[in-house]
Structure 1
Amino acid sequence: MVTIALGSKNPVKINATKEALDVLKLNWDLIGIEVDSGVDKQPFCDQTYVGARNRALNVIRVTNADIGLGIEGGVCNVYGKFIANAVVYVITKEGLENFAISSSFTLPSSMVSLILQGKELGEASDIIFKTNNSKTKEGAIGLLTNNVINRKMLYVQPIVLALYPIYNTMINNTPF
């Protein structure tokens, strides 16, 4: 049995990973362990990739799982607009690495202002929408789209995309 370790205990990330494994019809054991990302609480731009990779590396070291998976949400200023997205990074214990990014979405200026004052996106969302702990539920994207797209939905596709070289190699002996 293949064990995949997720570098988070966030229920949204765990449920998104479970759904991705279900979509792929992979009966792998999943464990979630909180590990350090090595980046700021609210990473910007390239630090999002660094944080996701660090989570994957750290969780595989701590658990000795077959696959380490890190998910890191970040924001970046692109052409004068702040966008949010997530990076999903996977590493096997043999050293195969891959990553994918989620769809991105622009952030309203009210959120950007709070983020630039040092708040995480989740904190900014909670303040603006007068909710609590949205990052463990629908996330900023769910609040902004009235749950047409929620945080879990945003993560499933990049998890599948990050994992494809691993499951193709393991199941179909297709080299990456």
Structure 2
Amino acid sequence: MIVSIGSKNQAKVKAVTDTLHEMGYTASIVPIDAPSNVSNMPFSDEETMQGAINRAQYCLKHSEAELAFGLEGGVMETAFGLFLCNWGALAVRDKDVFLAGGARIKLPEEIAQRLRAGEELGPLMDEYSNRVNVRSNEGAIGIFTNGAVNRSEMFAHIIKQLIGMKEAGSL
């Protein structure tokens, strides 16, 4: 089975590869640099979901994959502050798209203010943590949970939900 993922981000590719293996799938994973066609810093659930959908659908159109994952991170403003949000889409050839969301954590106000001012989370996290390419490694969730949950694990949870929904015929 050929499975594509709409990103070459190491954390996302690892999440798809490891989770499919863990769930008993034998698959050739094809990372594709798929456009999200949303802003670089999605600022709502809807925009983040749309980015995931766009990535998954792009992969099906531009590959021979049977399944295509789109994984997108963003933020969501609430009455309680700015929260990290993450969404996944699973596009299945000749079927509709499955959607699932992941972990949410409140971002520190100093980070939230800079995001509201227009900065993007990836470079901001590199600066904040004094590390390089946080988005492809532990992610913001890894930094703010002191490593208790990393970005691959967070996306793995979303992927499990998507595969489970597909297997259950939940559309």
TM bucket by the smaller chain? over 0.9
CA distance, structure 2, for counterparts of residue 159 and residue 175 of structure 1: 15
Aligned to 1:95: 95
Identity over aligned pairs, percent: 25
Q: How many aligned positions are there?
A: 170
Q: CA deviation at 1:100?
A: 0.7
Aligned to 2:148: 148
Task: Give the letter aligned to residue 129 of structure 1.
Answer: S
* 1:23 matched to 2:18: no
Per the alignment, in what secondary structure is the counterpart of residue 131 of structure 1?
coil
Q: CA deviation at 1:175?
A: 7.1
Task: Mark the runs of 5 or more structure 1 residues left unpaired by the alignment.
Answer: none
CA distance, structure 1, for counterparts of residue 117 and residue 132 of structure 2: 19
Contact 1:141–1:151 (Cα < 8 Å) also in 2: yes
Per the alignment, in what secondary structure is the counterpart of residue 123 of structure 2?
helix
Aligned to 1:118: 118
Task: Give the letter aligned to residue 12 of structure 1.
Answer: A
Task: State the TM-score, normalizing by the size of structure 2.
Answer: 0.94
Contact 1:64–1:93 (Cα < 8 Å) also in 2: no
Aligned to 2:108: 108
Mean CA deviation greater in 7-16 or 20-29: 20-29
* 1:128 matched to 2:128: yes
CA distance, structure 1, for counterparts of residue 3 and residue 54 of structure 2: 15
Mean CA deviation greater in 87-96 or 48-57: 87-96
Decide whether aligned partners of structure 1 residues 116 and 96 sit closer, same or farther in structure 2, where only a CA change above 3 A counts: same
Deviations 1:14-62 (A, max 9, x none): 0011121022111122110111100000001110000000000111111
CA distance, structure 1, for counterparts of residue 69 and residue 92 of structure 2: 9
When the two chains are superposed, the root-mean-square deviation of aligned CA atoms in Å is 1.4
Matches within 5 A, 1:25-174: 25-45=24-44, 46-166=46-166, 168=167
Contact 1:87–1:102 (Cα < 8 Å) also in 2: yes
CA distance, structure 2, for counterparts of residue 132 and residue 112 of structure 1: 20
CA distance, structure 2, for counterparts of residue 67 and residue 15 of structure 1: 16
Deviations 1:98-123 (A, max 9, x none): 11111111100111122122222122
Task: State the TM-score, normalizing by the size of structure 1.
Answer: 0.91
Q: CA deviation at 1:128?
A: 1.5
Task: Mark the runs of 5 or more structure 2 residues left unpaired by the alignment.
Answer: none
CA distance, structure 2, for counterparts of residue 157 and residue 57 of structure 1: 21
Mean CA deviation greater in 123-132 or 83-92: 123-132
Runs of 4+ displaced beyond 3 Å: none
